[in-house]
Every structure is written in C-alpha cells, then in structure tokens.
C-alpha cells in the first residue's frame, strides 16, 4: 500500500510474530538469555510473563528457531485444554497418537517411552505453552505431573510457561504451590522505554528496507508514539502502521506528530495524549530531542 512511497520492500509493522523482525531490546535479550541458561541447566519449569502485546510469542518463536538438532520442541498455543487433551496434544507434537480414550495411564506410558527414547538418543524435549494464565488448575497440575518424568540423571521434559501477569497471581495460590516450587527460572518482560521505541521503530524500518530508517519518524511523532503505546510493542506496531498510512495519504515522506495523533485517535487501546497535558508532552519531547543528538544511530 505505502511501501513503494517510503522505499520499503514490505510492510514493517505487521502483527504476525516474525523472527526476522526480532529486536533485541534490553528486556527481550535478557529474557532470551535466561531461557537459554535455564535450558542448558535442564530446568523442569521456566516462566516468562508480560503484559498483552509485549512480545512473548515472538520471544518463544525466536527461542525455538535457535535450538539445535539435539532439542525437540513442542509448541502448545492453546492453553484451554483438559488434562487428557493436553497429553494428546503433547503426544502429537512428539509424533505419537494418544487419544483421550486410552486413559491417563496409557497416555503417560506412551509419552514416557518416547521421551526416554529421545533421551537415549541424546536429545532433550522442550515444551512451550503460550497464554498459560488461562490454563485450568487441574490441567496445570497434570502438566506438573508430566514434569515428574525423569531418569536418574536428568528431567526428560522442560516446560516453558509464557503468560500474562495474571499467571503470577494464580501461581501464588495455595492450590498451585507444588507447581510454583518447580519453577527454577523466571523473567518479567517490561514495556519499551522511550529510547527503546525509537530503536524498535528504526530496526523494523531497516529490516523492511527503508533507506531512512532512523529519520522516517520525526522526534515529535516518536515521543507521541511512546506515550500513546505505553511502550507495548503490539500497540507500537498498530500506531506506526496507521501513522504511515496517514502520511502516505497526504503525500508526505516523513511521519510527523499530526500523523501520529490521527493514528492515536483511531485506536481504541491507545492512551489519549491529552491525558498527559501539553506541558508534560512538550517537556518529554524536549528531552527526547536532546537525547537524539547523542544517541547512536542504527546502521
């Protein structure tokens, strides 16, 4: 739509989690490092939490894309599963057929035999569960029981729970204390700060082929983008895309504050900039403009 106008090969702010656009911002790189260390240590449970849209699914896919042949991965995006369906889904990811009709004992037996065979072959199994905060308590308990599958030397299964902050609240309950005690590593993803938004936008524009990635969005637009998105990556994508559309509609070759304001007005979840007041916004913009003079540019 606007790609040719701005010299882009493709739209840079699509919502589909694309590992080619992964931006190693401080929090996301730290989370990735935690995951890699925990996997190397053979931990049974790992937990990554963050608000909606902070990049948990993209982080999961980045991790899975970087694993070697000695790691067998299983991704379970549907957390609303009963225990029997959970075991069936895991078995399917492992190349097995274990329908609920087999019953718990036979399902577990098939899964254990497969995990043990993979361990004998020098391979590890990592299960990534998305939206874990929505999983029923009895299914979380079934997941904990699966983690009991082990040899004398190590766990046969590593489970990574990706979820919203509500997952922390649920795990704090008395009913899930046994699962909570199994979590060896955890990390809480934080939203992008102002400098993070600037570099995130420039990074995505650079990957999409922009010859002016660092300057396509003006300082005022970037400041508004950070305020309105609250640093949530998904909202940054939505607002940046709409701002590009607004600039394209005017025939402008740079995104200005007015284009970002139109995007904010058209996005329900965006924070209205009037809430911050003109004085606060002007002060933030002044500080941001000064920071731009000393900040390193994306190459």
Residues 119 and 266 in one domain: no
The alpha-helical segments, DSSP class H, found in the chain are 26-41, 56-65, 83-93, 103-120, 137-146, 166-171, 177-182, 194-207, 219-229, 233-250, 257-265, 278-294
User: What CATH number is given to the structural domain containing 80?
Assistant: 3.40.50.300
Residues 109 and 217 in one domain: no
CA distance 115 to 93: 12
Query: Is 249 a domain residue?
Result: yes
Residues 100 and 150 in one domain: yes
Which DSSP symbol is given to 102?
Answer: G
Residues 41 and 131 in one domain: yes
What is the per-residue pLDDT for 289? 44
Q: Write down which residue in 157, 188, 219 finishes a domain.
A: 188
**Is 141:171 a contact under the CB 8 Å cutoff?**
no
Query: Is 158 a domain residue?
Result: yes
What is the per-residue pLDDT for 152? 67
Residues 30 and 134 in one domain: yes
Residues 182 and 239 in one domain: no
What is the per-residue pLDDT for 41? 81
Query: Is 8 a domain residue?
Result: no
Query: Is 9 a domain residue?
Result: no
CA distance 211 to 214: 9
For the chain, what is the domain count? 2
Query: Is 243 a domain residue?
Result: yes
pTM attached to this predicted model: 0.84
Cα 13 versus chain centre, distance: 15
Q: Which domain holds residue 131?
A: 26-188
Query: Is 2 a domain residue?
Result: no
Residues 70 and 171 in one domain: yes
Query: Is 12 a domain residue?
Result: no
Which DSSP symbol is given to 208?
Answer: T
Q: Write down which residue in 133, 160, 188 finishes a domain.
A: 188
Along the chain (299 residues), what's the average pLDDT of each consecutive run of 10 residues?
A: 94 93 91 88 89 92 86 88 91 89 88 91 90 92 83 82 94 91 92 96 97 95 96 97 95 95 94 61 45 42
What is the per-residue pLDDT for 70? 87
Residues 47 and 184 in one domain: yes
Query: Is 5 a domain residue?
Result: no
What is the per-residue pLDDT for 284? 42
Residues 202 and 134 in one domain: no
Residues 181 and 198 in one domain: no
Q: Write down which residue in 171, 188, 205 finishes a domain.
A: 188
Residues 101 and 231 in one domain: no
Residues 203 and 152 in one domain: no
């Amino acid at each position: 739509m606007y790609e040719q106008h701005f010299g882009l090969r493709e739209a840079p702010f699509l919502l589909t989690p694309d590992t080619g656009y992964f931006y190693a911002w401080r929090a996301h790189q730290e989370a990735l490092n935690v995951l890699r260390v925990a996997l190397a240590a053979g931990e049974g449970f790992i937990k990554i939490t963050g608000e909606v849209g902070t990049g948990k699914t993209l982080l999961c896919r980045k991790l899975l894309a970087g694993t070697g042949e000695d790691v067998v991965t299983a991704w379970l995006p549907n957390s609303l599963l009963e225990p029997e369906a959970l075991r069936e889904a895991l078995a399917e990811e492992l190349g097995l057929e274990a329908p609920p009709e087999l019953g718990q004992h036979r399902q577990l037996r098939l899964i254990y035999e497969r995990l043990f065979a993979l361990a004998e072959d020098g391979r590890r199994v990592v299960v990534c569960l998305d939206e874990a905060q929505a999983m029923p308590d009895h299914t979380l308990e079934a997941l904990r029981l699966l983690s009991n599958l082990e040899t004398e030397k190590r766990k046969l299964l590593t489970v990574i729970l990706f979820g919203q902050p509500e997952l922390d609240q649920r795990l704090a309950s008395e009913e899930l204390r046994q699962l909570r005690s199994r979590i060896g590593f955890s990390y809480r993803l934080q939203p992008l700060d102002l400098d993070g938004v600037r570099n995130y936008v420039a990074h995505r524009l650079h990957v999409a082929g922009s010859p002016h990635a660092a300057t396509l969005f003006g300082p005022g637009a970037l400041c508004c983008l950070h305020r309105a998105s609250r640093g949530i990556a998904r909202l940054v994508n939505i607002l940046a895309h709409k701002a590009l559309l607004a600039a394209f509609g005017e025939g402008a070759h740079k995104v200005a504050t007015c284009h970002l304001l139109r995007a904010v007005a058209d996005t329900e979840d965006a924070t209205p900039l009037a809430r911050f007041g003109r004085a606060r916004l002007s002060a933030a913009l002044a500080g941001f403009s000064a920071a731009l003079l000393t900040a390193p540019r994306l190459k």
